[in-house]
Structure 1
Amino acid sequence: LTVRDKSIFKWLPLLGIAAGGIGFYTIPFLWGSLVAPAISHMDGTLVPVVEGKAADNIIQVIITRYLPTWFSTFALMGVVAAALSTAAIQLMTSAILVSRDLIHGFIKPDATDKQLIIWTKLAVIGLIILSLGIALWNPIALALYLTHVAVPGFAQWAPCLVGGVLWKRGTKQGAIVGTLAGTATLVVGFIFKFSNAIILSFIINVILYIIVSLFTPKPSEQVEGIFFDEVDEFLKEKV
């Protein structure tokens, strides 16, 4: 709320996402995909070469073999905390999207706050059951679900979120079509082992978001005023 420059106000969240992605995803990915395998192939290494599901534990194995026990304990606690916090945030975000955007937005616009809270709780339970069902149906390495489904799946929200902040011509129809098409492509590619489904799904999402937005009525002046004009007026106010 202390930011008064329009460019900073709009771009700072995106820069935060980029920095968070580098810190929380890129660096661990490089460590797990390059550093850890290199250590396991070194002469006299204490870490055996692992494949499949056993590869999920490679980081903890390296820490346990080369560092004191107390350090590995703290590292494990950090991994568990990071996993639980990430899962909780994604679960609650998905549940709120179901209750607010789906139930309140399309099915029951006159729903009360109490009813929306109930729907949110039911969505949490349903998403947990769905996640467990998918894991039991296709038991593969946990890292593959993260790299092929979870992270790319949430990345499908990026075009409509960024477009909603920076592009006045973006429409809800474009956001819906792009997100659904990108997610469907991602799921089909994961099930049928389609090559480069992650990149393809994101490209399809962006293209459809732009095309459908251009061929559907532009947002009303009221909506445009809420998301753009009011922000500009707020930023122009003196502290």
Structure 2
Amino acid sequence: MDSSSTSVFELWGMSIGPIEIAFGLYLVFMLAIGIWAYKRTNDSSDYMLGGRGLGGAVTALSAGASDMSGWILMGLPGAIYFSGLSESWLALFLVIGAYINWKFIAGRLRSYTEIADNALTLPDYFAGRFHDGGKWLRIAAVIVMIVFYGYYIGSGLVAGSKLFESSFGYDYNTALLVSTIVIISYTFLGGFLAVSWTDFFQGLIIAISLVVAPIVLLVEYNGLTGIVEGVKATGENLGKENLASFTAGLFDENNAFKWITFLSLMAWGLGYFGQPHILARFMAIKSVNTVPQARRIGMTWMAICVLGAVFIGFAGIAYFGGDFTASEYKLLTPEEVAELNTSQGAEKVFLLLTQALFNPWLAGFLLAAIMAAVMSTIDSQLLAVSSSVTEDIYKPHMRPNASEKELVWVNRFVVILVAGIGIGVAMSGSKNVLNLVGQAWAGFGAAFGPVIIMSLLWKHMTRQGALAGIIAGGASVLIWDYIGNNTDIALFGLYELLPGFIIAALTIYIVSKMTTVGEQTANQFEWYSNEFKKYKS
């Protein structure tokens, strides 16, 4: 799309139009929140968990926004556009996983982290839960976070770079640098408070965009019937007759059920139990009694966003998938048409629909929604890993007597360091958002998920079992992924999260049965169980 046709003025040789202005105002607002939060951040507890004072709405939307990332506006619509409605199974299992996480983990984790020496980070919780005097649990957990957040942050930077590249004509590396600078700035300044409040507003923007765009598309096609007919016509033209089928992707050419595909899609829901940036919201909520309200808000938000994203990808098939010579597709160049028919290029379908359908000022707002989705995950991830490095490595092993002010500044500089790792991943690896997210999601889900669940529900889990589970889960994901990429054995096509999760859970159980729970740990679990029974979840 040539934005010069709507240019308002020229700046440094660049054409500045309504899209650029609307988008720029959004970025300024995010930075203003960072400055506001900076003035209210006095110690490491404020920087890492906002003083445990988040209300239900902020907790819900910030948890949802930090969860969904660029996947909800790029990865999911792109998958639907490229492969059809059968990709929506993944979204269904994610919704189920998110609900179970809110229902059975959120309140328990909030309660136990306060009992376990007021833990501020996930590694801090592990150490307090199992009284890890040797600190090996902390160290293992931090290593896992550094490794898999590299993939996760890289995926977000890829999504942000695609936005700048497609919308404003920047080359990929320049776009990568611009998006990184913006995200680092407010995370560096305001910490958890800035991240949570920016995520709250970004969650609102994402939800609005995923309501407005489908409504406009329904009007454009005079209802859902017109869109379905357009998708079917496109499928016939492209030789993909099953684009409108929910189940086509689950059966092969011989009509045999594809169990590995189905189990891989189902496994995505398991990832929720081990994501540090989501679990941090549970730890920071004002009280356990606030969890039910937050759960209702969060799940409503997620349902709206997932349905909107699926609809956008589906409607995009009808809008862009047919006769590209027709007048309504004049905004697409031949190069853009060719790119949309690849799995990576398909992730731009929401970007292109936005620019084709909307007034430039509204398009700027909706493009900001994509950047909001990207920012809201990267900022949370940067903060989660920087907090863990500071609280679990720097403070106990390097500077036990460090002042609160020093710890806050160490957090800020680790944010910059980890962002650099993410840039390296984004520049050197895959440029497919869904693939990068999948690797990180699996790593955290397998390494931390079973440990979190069993530590909250099983009295007889031991410190040795937790350590073995973290190592087994993280390592099995990396090994399974490597073998899967270098062999034709069908079993290794299974999404690595499922075998990793099972291996970690079995390892925890076996090792815990072979070792003994300390008296202090057992007494603390009894205390936690009695305290949690007082609340209604």
Highest Rg: 1 or 2?
2
Amino acid of the structure 1 residue aligned with 2:515: T
Amino acid of the structure 1 residue aligned with 2:108: K
Counting only pairs closer than 5 Å after superposition, residues 125-164 of structure 1 correspond to structure 2 as: 125-146=416-437, 148-156=438-446, 157-164=448-455
After TM superposition, the score normalised by the length of structure 2 is 0.36
After TM superposition, the score normalised by the length of structure 1 is 0.72
Amino acid of the structure 1 residue aligned with 2:417: G
Question: Offset of 1:84 from its aligned partner?
Answer: 0.8
Q: Report the Cα distance in structure 1 between the residues aligned to 2:519 and 2:469, rounded to whole angstroms.
A: 23
**Which of 492, 503, 516 is matched with 1:217 structurally?**
516
Does 2:498 align with 1:199? Answer: yes
Does 2:454 align with 1:174? Answer: no
Does 2:478 align with 1:187? Answer: yes
Amino acid of the structure 2 residue aligned with 1:232: N
Q: Report the Cα distance in structure 2 between the residues aligned to 1:233 and 1:189, rounded to whole angstroms.
A: 40
Question: Offset of 1:207 from its aligned partner?
Answer: 2.1
Does 2:108 align with 1:10? Answer: yes
Whether the aligned pair in 1 keeps the contact of 2:465 and 2:507 (CA below 8 Å) is yes
**Other structure's SS at 1:169 match:** coil
Q: Deviations over 1:130-187 (max 9, x none)?
A: 22222222142233212x2233333232222222222222233322322232223333
Amino acid of the structure 2 residue aligned with 1:57: K
Match of 2:268 in 1: none
**Other structure's SS at 2:461 match:** coil
Report the more deviating stretch, 53-62 or 107-116: 107-116
Number of residue pairs the alignment of both structures matches: 230
Unpaired runs of 5+ in structure 1?
Answer: none
Whether the aligned pair in 1 keeps the contact of 2:464 and 2:511 (CA below 8 Å) is yes
Report the more deviating stretch, 53-62 or 227-236: 227-236
Amino acid of the structure 1 residue aligned with 2:441: V
Report the more deviating stretch, 130-139 or 25-34: 25-34
Closer, same or farther in 2 for the Cα pair 1:26/1:163, shift >3 Å? farther
Closer, same or farther in 2 for the Cα pair 1:190/1:7, shift >3 Å? closer
Root-mean-square deviation (Å): 4.0
Q: Report the Cα distance in structure 2 between the residues aligned to 1:121 and 1:8, rounded to whole angstroms.
A: 27
Whether the aligned pair in 2 keeps the contact of 1:50 and 1:58 (CA below 8 Å) is no
Match of 2:507 in 1: 208
Q: Report the Cα distance in structure 1 between the residues aligned to 2:434 and 2:529, rounded to whole angstroms.
A: 40
Whether the aligned pair in 2 keeps the contact of 1:173 and 1:216 (CA below 8 Å) is yes
Match of 2:321 in 1: 41
Does 2:388 align with 1:90? Answer: no
State the identity %: 21
Does 2:530 align with 1:232? Answer: yes
Q: Deviations over 1:3-41 (max 9, x none)?
A: xxx999439869949948954985577457655446543
Q: Report the Cα distance in structure 2 between the residues aligned to 1:216 and 1:35, rounded to whole angstroms.
A: 56
Closer, same or farther in 2 for the Cα pair 1:104/1:171, shift >3 Å? farther
Match of 2:172 in 1: none
